[in-house]
């Protein structure tokens, strides 16, 4: 699960024909065009103005659909919120320490003290993946400090759409994303955490992804993805989800004009949304102004 959480949390030169963030979707019986934009989940809403044509496209569409419905997620009941939080917690019948050998515990303690200032015994109620996310969120705040206090791109686009009276929705649920993150076996999560300690340089990776994103260079972004993800991880985190999104988009495109807002890593590649939609008969054209 090489660097899977970093990729999912973000999971984002010279512009080439495939190096754009905003794409117009037309053809194949569509009466009114739709759009798809690649977001950077840790970039703030201010960056929306830097993507050529994005706010013009926003004004033209009737719906804004993200990876999940962030407007609805803000209206969850306390019970629903607790259920999601519980997915991050260790089960009562398994101790955190049982997942690691003694030498691994020592390595983990040293790592967490250096990154978070606390030993592992202060975090034993959390699953290993939850600890990874805690560390990575701290690193993201170091690379992109505004993310701690300002609304992110994805949430902004949906919240603003709701304010403007547009429809808002999601291609999947928050519960699905939480299950993707925390639903794997505890042993595989522990292995991923140890591998992250041994090989991960999250700050460098997030910086590379952010630089590629802000250059609006999907080609470079694709290269970073492929450097960091195994085929198994890519298939499960990107390809499977993209194919699910493609099916939903094919149902929605003839019915409504929509701006789809998804992580930029879902756009390029053989099984990226650009290629999948083109193969389904749609015309995708990069928006440059």
Query: Domain residue spans in the chain?
Result: 4-75+152-173+202-286
Model pTM score: 0.88
Q: Which two tokens stand for residue 199?
A: 């090989």
pLDDT for residue 169 is more than 70: yes
Query: What is the mean predicted confidence (pLDDT) over 61-86?
Result: 90
- Residue 26 — φ and ψ, nearest 5°? -145, -175
3-state secondary structure 157-199: HHHHHHHCCCEEEECCCHHHHHHHHHCCCHHHHHHHHHHHHHH
Cβ(264)–Cβ(236) below 8 Å: no
Q: Which two tokens stand for residue 218?
A: 């999907």
Cβ(153)–Cβ(49) below 8 Å: no
- Residue 188 — φ and ψ, nearest 5°? -70, -35
Cβ(126)–Cβ(134) below 8 Å: yes
Q: Which residue has the higher pLDDT, 101 or 208?
A: 101
Predicted confidence (pLDDT) per residue in 9-42, tens digit? 443 333 333 458 999 999 998 999 999 999 998 8
Residue owning tokens 């290629």: 275
Predicted confidence (pLDDT) per residue in 228-274, tens digit? 776 667 777 889 999 999 999 999 999 999 999 999 989 998 899 99
Cα atoms in the 13 Å half-sphere on the side-chain side of 193: 30
| H helical segments located in 18-88 | 54-60, 70-73, 78-86
């Amino acid at each position: 699960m090489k660097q899977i959480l970093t990729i999912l949390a973000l999971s984002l030169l010279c512009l080439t024909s495939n190096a754009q963030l905003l794409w117009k979707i037309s053809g194949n019986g569509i009466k009114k065009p739709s759009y798809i934009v690649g977001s950077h989940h840790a970039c703030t809403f201010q960056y929306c103005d830097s993507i050529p044509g994005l706010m013009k496209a926003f004004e033209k569409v009737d719906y804004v659909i993200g990876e999940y419905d962030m407007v609805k997620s803000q209206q969850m009941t306390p019970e629903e919120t607790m259920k999601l939080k519980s997915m991050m917690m260790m089960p009562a019948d398994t101790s955190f320490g049982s997942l690691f050998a003694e030498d691994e515990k020592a390595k983990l303690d040293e790592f967490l003290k250096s990154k978070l200032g606390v030993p592992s015994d202060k975090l034993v109620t959390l699953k290993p993946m939850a600890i990874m996310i805690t560390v990575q969120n701290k690193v993201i705040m170091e690379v992109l400090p505004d993310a701690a206090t300002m609304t992110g791109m994805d949430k902004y686009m949906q919240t603003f759409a709701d304010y403007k009276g547009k429809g808002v929705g999601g291609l999947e649920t928050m519960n699905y994303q939480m299950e993707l993150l925390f639903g794997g076996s505890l042993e595989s999560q522990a292995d991923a955490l140890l591998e992250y300690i041994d090989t991960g340089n999250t700050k460098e990776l997030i910086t590379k992804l952010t630089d590629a994103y802000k250059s609006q260079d999907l080609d470079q972004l694709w290269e970073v993805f492929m450097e960091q993800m195994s085929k198994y991880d890519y298939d499960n985190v990107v390809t499977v989800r993209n194919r699910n999104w493609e099916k939903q988009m094919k149902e929605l495109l003839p019915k409504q004009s929509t701006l789809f807002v998804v992580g930029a890593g879902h756009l390029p590649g053989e099984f990226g949304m650009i290629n999948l939609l083109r193969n389904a008969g749609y015309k995708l054209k990069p928006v440059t102004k």
